[in-house]
Amino acid sequence: MLVGILALQGDFFAHASSLNDLSVETRYIRSPSDLDGIEGLVIPGGESTVMSLLIQSSGLYVPLIELLKSRLPVLATCAGVIMLSREIVDGRDDQISFGALDVSIKRNGYGRQLQSFEADISFSAGSFHAVFIRAPRILKVGPDVEVLATIPSHPLPSATRPRYFDHSYRTEDAVADLQKVGGLQETDWRGSGDGQYSEPVIDESMVDEGGADRDGVDVVMCRQGPILACTFHPELTPDRRVHSIFVDQVKRSRIQW
Amino acid sequence: MILNDSIVGMVDDLKAEHHTGTFQVKRGLAEMLKGGVIMDVVTPEHAKIAEDAGAVAVMALERVPADIRAQGGVARMSDPALILEIEEAVTIPVMAKARIGHFAEAQVLQSIGVDYIDESEVLTPADRENHIDKWQFDVPFVCGATNLGEALRRISEGAALIRSKGEAGTGNIVEAVYHLRSIVGDIKKIASADPAELYAWAKSLEAPYELVKMVAETGWLPVPLFCAGGIATPADASLVRQLGAESIFVGSGIFKSDNPPERARAIVEACVHYDDAELVGRVSKGLGEAMRGLDDASYGSRLAERGW
């Protein structure tokens, strides 16, 4: 079995090690000729805007679309999922995607690096320790998408920054803020003593933005036909069960041929 | 603060189940940056040019190293307002520099949400003996190193990414090559060393034995290794990638050249297709003049000697 790993930018090396752990032969894909003979494809994590640019300049866009149409099994993680999504919310204007996965996705949907997190998720094979790095957030999934794992959805902190040390902040702003939060009570302005100031002012309009169309959970792993997509990084942890599911899929598609 | 009780409750629950600021998460972002180019920018406009050209991240600075070198004086952390403007201007990760040992600058940078802090010899050091205790932070750190011992000491202090130092602001690749060959060369020697020899390696590198042992077992650093300091052309990018650097930092090399957008784009392509000489040649055509640069004799003091 030969699996191609899109190796323009991102954590392609981690995917290669993961598949090598499962005794699968891998090849880095950097030009169209590298695609010959691959039986599966991995689109790794990285920066989706950079990958979008490099896929075009490397002449890989059209050959990859043809492979996707031929139902080549694909494992996509993080930025890879963005590359496959039908709709990218807040993407760059010139950003391309393959539109092969019927989801609407938001880049950096949980915030910046400081909000990157680890969490246990559960899927059919049990509990899985997942690492999310500036992860995209799936806001909507289409009817043909099978949801494999979710995490509890949580409100995003405000996109507008809390107004510390703001010279333009005046008494009337303070009164307005106080009314917003329901008046002055026991207030610990120094927060919980962890070096932070008080809780950030949460912009109500941002709370529960998207993502919550499935009863307060976010989809973090899903499948549509031959595409297996994770917004987290199974390649960064030693657990190989997600890669095994993908390898099984490649084996099955082989039998069909 | 009261806010909405339910929201606070949810945020607390989240803290219980979700762990932020772990080493895995810090190192994870460095993994995502592999194969890419991190560009120094001094304005939001520069940041946009860099992002358009395919930069994988930007380093927000007030002055590029070539100007710091030329103008002299104490070089400090940039104005947080500038860094925030750059964060607003782009969607890729934003890094910023703190002085060696200046943990208060690092605290400020963390508070304004930068994605990576470079504890950098390009700025004037704030502590003659100690680097920042990087384990105390949720934001990841990148640190420079001239040799393997220095790299492992920085990792033991919590750095999640190492860059070979080179000599910033010179446009001269010679020091970067020297440092990279030294680090990668020692890694190869350790990987083939007898286990009994690792103690002596730890002693001579002045680095923790446990980290030396990890290098021996994996044949690589416990974190990614990038290259910085002197990269000015697409061929420079190809050179250091072939020598083992997993990504590159380009400082003065882009915005001190004739045609920054084209040069930036060319360096990005050369960094990805580093082993395809024909392609590196194609993207190198007609870029105009590279940054003027400094030859060996005219450096004056070496920035790479800062840090211990």
Digit-coded pLDDT (tens) for B109-161: 999 999 999 999 999 999 999 999 999 999 999 999 999 999 999 999 999 99
To test the contact with chain B by mutation, choose from A9, A106, A163, A209 the residue with the greatest count of B C-beta atoms within 10 A, namely: A9
> Which pLDDT does position A20 carry in this prediction?
97
Per CB-CB distance under 8 Å, the chain B contacts of A188 are 1
Give the chain A residue nearest B279 (alpha carbons): A58
Give the mean model confidence (pLDDT) for residues A31-60: 96
Low-confidence ranges of chain B (pLDDT < 70): 1-17, 297
Q: Is B97 a catalytic residue?
A: yes
Chain B CB contacts of A185 under 8 Å are: 2
Compute the distance between CA of residue B195 and CA of residue B214 in angstroms, rounded to an integer.
11
Tell me if B113 sits within 8 A of B121, measured CB to CB.
no
Interface predicted TM-score (ipTM) of this complex, two decimals = 0.90
d(CA B308, CA B305): 8
Residue numbers of A between 7 and 26 with CB closer than 8 Å to B: 7-14
**In the block, residue with structure tokens 């969607």:** B91
Tokens representing residue A70 in the block: 């031929």
The chain-wide mean pLDDT, for chain A, equals 83
How much is the pLDDT for B8? 36
3-state class (DSSP) for residue B243: coil
As a three-state string, the secondary structure of B50-106 is HHHHCCCEEEECCCCHHHHHHHCCCCCCCCHHHHHHHHHHCCCCEEEEEECCCHHHH
pLDDT tens digit sequence for A13-43: 999 999 999 999 999 999 999 999 999 999 9
DSSP state of B9: H
pLDDT of residue A197: 37
Instruction: Give the Cα separation of A158 and A122 in Å (integer).
Output: 28
Q: B55 and A50: CB-CB below 8 Å?
A: yes
| Of B28, B34, B35, Cβ closest to residue A116 | B28
Q: Which of B233, B239, B232, B248 is nearest to B275 (CA)?
A: B239
Closest to A112 (Cβ–Cβ): which among B8, B34, B115? B115
Q: Does A2-186+193-256 carry CATH code 3.30.310.10?
A: no
**B19: exposed, middle or buried (Cβ count in 10 Å: 0-12, 13-18, 19+):** middle
pLDDT value at position A212? 42
What residues form DSSP beta bridges with B119? B98, B143
Closest CA in chain A for residue B16: A119
Tell me the nearest-neighbour CA distance from B282 into chain A, angstroms: 13
Residue A236: its chain B contacts at CB < 8 A? 24, 28, 31
Domain ranges for chain A, please list them. 2-186+193-256
Nearest to A118 among B25, B87, B269 (CB): B25
Which of B:268-307 have CB within 8 Å of A? 268-269, 272-273, 276
Q: Which residue of B has its CA nearest to A159?
A: B88
Give the pLDDT of residue A227: 96
Q: Which of B19, B33, B91, B116 to mutate to test the interface with A (most CBs of A within 10 A)?
A: B91
pLDDT in tens, B257-268: 999 999 999 999
Which runs of consecutive H residues, i.e. helices, occur in chain A?
A: 12-21, 48-57, 61-69, 79-84, 171-181, 241-256
What is the helix (H) or strand (E) element at residue A10, kind and residue range? none
Which among A8, A47, A133 has CB closest to B25? Answer: A133
State the sign of the Cα–Cα–Cα–Cα dihedral A225, A229, A234, A235. positive
A contact residues 38-57, partner B, Cβ 8 Å cutoff: 45-47, 49-50, 53-54, 57
Distances (CA, A) of A1 to A41, A257, B234: 11, 14, 35
Amino acid at position B201, single letter: W
Q: Catalytic: which of B97, B134, B165, B256?
A: B97
Q: How many other C-beta atoms lie within 10 A of the C-beta of residue A56?
A: 13
Structure confidence at residue A182 (pLDDT) = 62
pLDDT of residue A152: 86
What's residue A100's pLDDT? 93
Distance from CA of B207 to the nearest CA of A (A): 26
Q: What is the Cα–Cα distance from A192 to A177, expressed in whole angstroms?
A: 20
| pLDDT for the residue B94 | 97
Q: CB A197: neighbour CB atoms within 10 A?
A: 13
Residues near B63 by Cβ (< 8 Å), separated by ≥ 6? B42, B71, B75
Closest by CA to B27, choosing from B158, B180, B165, is B158
Tell whether the torsion through CA atoms of B79, B81, B86 and B92 is positive or negative.
positive
Query: What are A123-173's pLDDT values in tens digits?
Result: 888 899 999 999 999 999 999 999 999 998 865 544 444 444 555 666 677
Indicate whether A216 pLDDT > 90.
no
DSSP at B145: E
Q: What three-state secondary structure class fits A7?
A: coil
Whether residue A218 lies within 8 A of chain B, CB to CB, comes out as: no
pLDDT at B233: 97
Are B122 and B169 spatial neighbours (Cβ–Cβ below 8 Å)? yes
The verdict on B93 touching A (C-beta cutoff 8 Å) is yes
Catalytic residue among A78, A222, A230, A243: A78
Virtual torsion, Cα A182, A183, A189, A193, nearest 10 deg: -50
pLDDT attached to residue B244: 97
Determine whether the interchain pair A131/B25 forms a contact, defined as Cβ–Cβ distance below 8 Å.
yes
With contacts defined as CB-CB under 8 Å, which chain A residues touch B272? 8-9, 30, 54, 58
pLDDT at B86: 96
* CA dist list (Å): A26 to A15, A41, B68: 9, 9, 45
Asked whether A216 and A153 are in contact (CB, 8 A), the reply is yes
A10 and B138 in contact by Cβ < 8 A?
Answer: no
Higher pLDDT, B4 or A234: A234
What 3-state class would DSSP assign to A223? Answer: strand
pTM, two decimals, is: 0.86
Question: Are the C-beta atoms of A61 and A29 separated by less than 8 Å?
Answer: no
Which pLDDT belongs to residue A96?
85
**Which of A15, A222, A230, A233 does the annotation list as catalytic?**
A233
**What is the DSSP annotation of A157-221?**
PPSSPP-TT-TT--HHHHHHHHHHHTS--S--TTTTSSS--SPPPP-GGGTT-SS-TTTSEEEEE
- Which residues of A fall within a CB distance of 8 Å from B35? 7-10, 12, 46
